Structure 1
């Protein structure tokens, strides 16, 4: 049996729209075992067939590596919420791809897993941290993904999860097709300052740079609590962003107690569930039993 663990992720960190993703120590666990026929357990029955994302990723990995896909018993254990901007689909894809090599007795190449996962997802911002951990800045060139990981051990996180699904497809529809040059230049500067602040542990700088102009002004209408929470966080120097396409919002701080107080305040005033998590530095973890 092979067990594969993949972290949840928060993409579009700060001003890093479609380029920055952060791994969180909130994990999906997957086990794989050869079987006489495909059996998928641990998920709703509607997703326990040939169209299951983990199984599809496993098949894609087998094709890429030149293996014949074996029937498997796949067991899924995860409480990462679906359609909330926490990379639940990326965990499934990364686990299935890695299993293709491991089930056939070969170590999975993380670079290969990331490249194939980015193909399936359509972008690398969630899959890179799911594979490598930490904060990953990733840009797709014509033929490859160029990536750099930043250590996040100084920081703590608070995931605020509304009882509201936001599909990536719907969230994409509200975005403009073009942006002014001035906006693009500002966003590039903010993204650079954001990473510098994270690496220096400068919370004031990170908060000042956590101002997106490419997606949050348009997607905030999909998340009723966001506008007010952003105001409160800015006033208290707490960086906050819409995680992925939402509806989850992620706050970070050097001070875990500050996030604990924020969690309690948000629960009282907004009725939102908050989960304290830390950045994950491991990424994809594979164990053989």
Structure 2
């Protein structure tokens, strides 16, 4: 049996739109074992067929390796919610690629794995931290993803997950086509300071640098709870952002007491929001054999 463990992720990290993602210590587990027919368990019935994203990623990797697609029993054990901005699709993509690599003992390197994952996902900002762990900044160089790991200080996080989804395509439609030059300059400055604050653990700068101009002013309209949560985080001097396209919001701090206070306030004011404590995952997806 091949077992693949893949972390949830938070893309964009407020000021890193489409270019910065973070692995979270919240794991999905995928088990693969030989079978006479394709069998999928552990997911809704509508996803239990050959169109399952894990299966599609496995098949694409077979093509890359020039191997025949085998039959297997795939069992999925994941409570990472769909359409909440926590990288549930990326976990499936990375799991399928790593499982195929292990199945055929191909020993692909991580950059090769990243390229296949990016071809499936369309961009590397979610799949890169899935593969490498920590925070990862990335961009596309023609058809090739380029990335750098951003080692993070000992941050804890609070994922605040509303009981309603956000469809990524709808979240993209709401974005503007152009941006004023001065806002672009401000975005660069905030993003550079944010990355440094992540590395050295400067919480004051982290909170101050969480001011986005590219997507959050527009996407927050899709999240009725955003303004209330954002105001609470500002009062507590906590860095906070919309995770991926939403609807999850993530706050980060090295002070567990402040995150606990945030959790209590959110649960009291918004009982429909699930709060889950997380940490920045120090490593990315990994494989074990049984």
**C-alpha distance in 2 between matches for 1:153 and 1:6:** 21
**C-alpha distance in 2 between matches for 1:202 and 1:153:** 9
How far is the alpha carbon of 1:199 from its aligned partner? 1.1
Deviations 1:184-238 (A, max 9, x none): 1111111001001111211010111111110000010110111121122123210
- Matched residue, 2:85: 85
- Matched residue, 1:134: 134
CA contact (8 A) 2:152 2:199 kept: yes
- Matched residue, 2:98: 98
- Matched residue, 1:277: 278
**C-alpha distance in 1 between matches for 2:182 and 2:255:** 34
How far is the alpha carbon of 1:56 from its aligned partner? 0.4
How far is the alpha carbon of 1:115 from its aligned partner? 1.0
**C-alpha distance in 2 between matches for 1:153 and 1:63:** 39
Q: Secondary structure at the match of 1:18?
A: coil
**C-alpha distance in 1 between matches for 2:63 and 2:183:** 42
**C-alpha distance in 2 between matches for 1:153 and 1:184:** 27
Gaps of 5+ in 1: none
- Choose 102-111 or 222-231, whichever is displaced more: 102-111
- Matched residue, 2:31: 31
Q: Secondary structure at the match of 2:178?
A: coil
CA contact (8 A) 2:154 2:201 kept: yes
- Mapping of residues 1-40 of structure 1, within 5 Å: 1-40=1-40
CA contact (8 A) 2:153 2:198 kept: no
CA contact (8 A) 1:35 1:73 kept: yes
- Mapping of residues 169-208 of structure 1, within 5 Å: 169-208=169-208
TM-score when normalising by structure 2: 0.97
Q: How many residue pairs were aligned?
A: 289
**C-alpha distance in 2 between matches for 1:190 and 1:64:** 39
- Matched residue, 2:222: 222
How far is the alpha carbon of 1:153 from its aligned partner? 4.0
Question: How much is the aligned-residue C-alpha RMSD, in angstroms?
Answer: 1.0
CA contact (8 A) 1:102 1:108 kept: no
How far is the alpha carbon of 1:106 from its aligned partner? 2.5
How far is the alpha carbon of 1:254 from its aligned partner? 0.9
**C-alpha distance in 1 between matches for 2:73 and 2:109:** 23
Gaps of 5+ in 2: none
CA contact (8 A) 1:159 1:276 kept: yes
Deviations 1:119-148 (A, max 9, x none): 111111100000000010111111322211
- Matched residue, 1:286: 287
Is 1:111 aligned to 2:131, yes or no?
no
Q: Secondary structure at the match of 2:118?
A: helix
- 4+ residue runs over 2 A deviation: 105-109
- Matched residue, 1:162: 162
Q: Secondary structure at the match of 1:27?
A: strand
Q: Secondary structure at the match of 2:259?
A: helix
How far is the alpha carbon of 1:65 from its aligned partner? 1.2
CA contact (8 A) 1:14 1:210 kept: yes
